[in-house]
Every structure is written in C-alpha cells, then in structure tokens.
Structure 1
C-alpha cells in the first residue's frame, strides 16, 4: 500500500505540474497578445503569394511580405487579402514589446490585426482548471492519500509549473 501511495502522490504532482504549466503558458500567450507595442515605419520590399489549404479549401491565399524598417527587416505572413500590398508601399508596424511579434500592420487607411486569437487559450485554461479540480476532487474523495499530502502535491505542481514554462521544458 505504501508503494501505491507514493506512485499516486507522484502522479498527482506530475498531473498538477502539467496542467499548471498549460494554464501558465496560456496566460503568457494572452499577456503577450495584449502587451504594449511600439511603432516602426518602413516599406514593403518583397511580396509572395502562396496557396495555403485551410479546412479543405485549396483556394485560400496566403501573403508574405518583407518590410524594410531601416535597421531591421520584418517578415509578415497572413491569410486573406489584408497583406496584398504592392512593393514600395509605406507601412507602419506595431511591434509587441513582450516578444517582438507584429500586432498590427497599417497600410494606407487599413489596419490588419495579426495577433493570435483568444478562444483557444481561454478554452485550454478552462479545461485545464476543470481537469485539475477533478484530479483533486477524486484524490480527496477516494481517500487514497491524506488530503494534506494531496494539497502538498498541488502546491508542488503549482510552484513548479511557472518554472517549467519559463525554461520551456
């Protein structure tokens, strides 16, 4: 029975680590999405079109442009007509201070939002928290391991999760 309890404690701690890591990573994605930006002006120096099959639709076009911003060159890819820009077109990029990705591209009077969506990270956060709650409800309800040790496993997983996300384990 002692071996079973040790295995169970380890399993609860590892599941906590994994689910806590998913929550931390998705929170990091959401924070990066809405991070402050700085503006960079440049012009389009190359433009490529390519077919990108999306959901079985073979006619979807992706556009990849390179923007020369003086000291740095940015490459932007998006699906749809928003980046169908001619060479030499002046553009303004809003670059995220968190990770250096491009949040918005402004060309003429149009603005292209290049940030990732919020639905997937929010759904992953909710699913992970529900799974974590189910693990602890089951662990305490089954009385396989004392509640104090189960909560210790939760605390261990919750403390190690941000470290694992930071180190990208």
Structure 2
C-alpha cells in the first residue's frame, strides 16, 4: 500500500469516526434537551385518593437512614404509583390528593395533599452538565479535525451536518 492510498483510507476512516462521534454527541444533546422540555411541559390536574402506602430503606448519598415512600393513588379510571424520598409522601390510605400530570410523557410533576406540595420532577443539573460536556467534546473533535488537517474544513462541516441530521433520529429510536 502506498503512502497516498494509506492517507486516503485514513481520511475516510477518520471522517466516518467524526461523523459517528457527531451522531452520538448530538444525540446526547437532543436527548437532554428533550428531558428538560419534558420536565417543564404543561400539566393537567387529576384528583384521587391514596389507596396504599409503603416505606422502605433507600440509602441516598451516603445517608443510610433515608426512607423512601411509595404510594398508590386511585384517580377514578387511572391508577398512579409514586415513589420518592420526600417525607411529604408519608400519607395515610384514604387521603385525598391532587396530581399534576405532565402532558408530554404522563409522569407526575407535583403531588398536592393537605396543603403541601411535593415536587416530583427530575432535576436540571445533570441534563445541563451533559449538554455542556457534549457540546465541548463536539467542539474539541472539530477543532482537532481541522487543526490536524486530516481532511479539509468542508468535510468537517459535512460530518457535523450528518451528525446533526441523524441525532434526532437516534433520540427517538433510543439507540
């Protein structure tokens, strides 16, 4: 194999690797944006009552005495099951509750009972950190590809476009 042929093969392999890495990193960004959008999606209210309550030990962050509460809620035609480490879920069976259910994915955003409100949404720190890390890694990949002159900047932008186009597909297929 000649040096010229080896260089062409290396460029093709590197281009494919950059495109696949773009796909993966773009997929992470899209998925985390979807998580954040689902977190703050509109909700609708459902009224019901607690049908059962269980509690169990759940070590969280080194705290061996953390107790998880799991309640089942009967809301007429639907039944919900909620588990959290929040003491606001320590509710007796028969307690009337109101659930704010997300229109995006059907998860429970808030539980209201006896004047108290329990926020059951996911946090924002992990998705924001993952978005930031993926974008920084994507920038480093493209900077390195152009800086190393492995292939021209036009090919780098083609790889970016390919990753950006295929990333939403990866998110919805859940690769």
Determine if the alignment matches structure 1 residue 128 to structure 2 residue 134.
yes
Q: Residue 163 of structure 1: which of 144, 154, 169 is its match?
A: 169
Matched, 1:22 2:28: yes
* TM-score, length of structure 2 as denominator length: 0.95
> How far apart, in 1, do the equivalents of 2:62 and 2:139 lie?
37
For residues 80 and 23 of structure 1, the distance between their equivalents in structure 2, rounded to whole angstroms, comes to 30
Deviation at 1:56, TM superposition (A): 2.2
Aligned partner of 2:71 in structure 1 is: 65
Q: Is residue 2:24 matched to residue 1:36?
A: no
Instruction: Name the residue aligned to 2:155.
Output: 149
After superposition, give the CA deviation of every residue in 1:104-140 in whole Å (9 maximum; x if it has no partner): 0000110000000001100110111011001001101
Flag structure 2 segments of 5+ consecutive residues without an equivalent: 1-6
Tell me, in whole angstroms, the C-alpha distance in 2 between the residues paired with 1:60 and 1:103.
Answer: 22
Once the 2 structures are TM-superposed, how far is the Cα of residue 80 of structure 1 from its aligned partner? 2.6
List, as ranges, runs of 4+ consecutive aligned residues in structure 1 with deviation greater than 6 Å.
Answer: none
Decide which of 66, 76, 93 is 2:82's aligned counterpart: 76
Bigger radius of gyration:
2
The worse-fitting range, judged by mean Cα deviation, of 65-74 and 50-59 is 50-59
C-alpha deviation, 1:89, in angstroms: 0.2
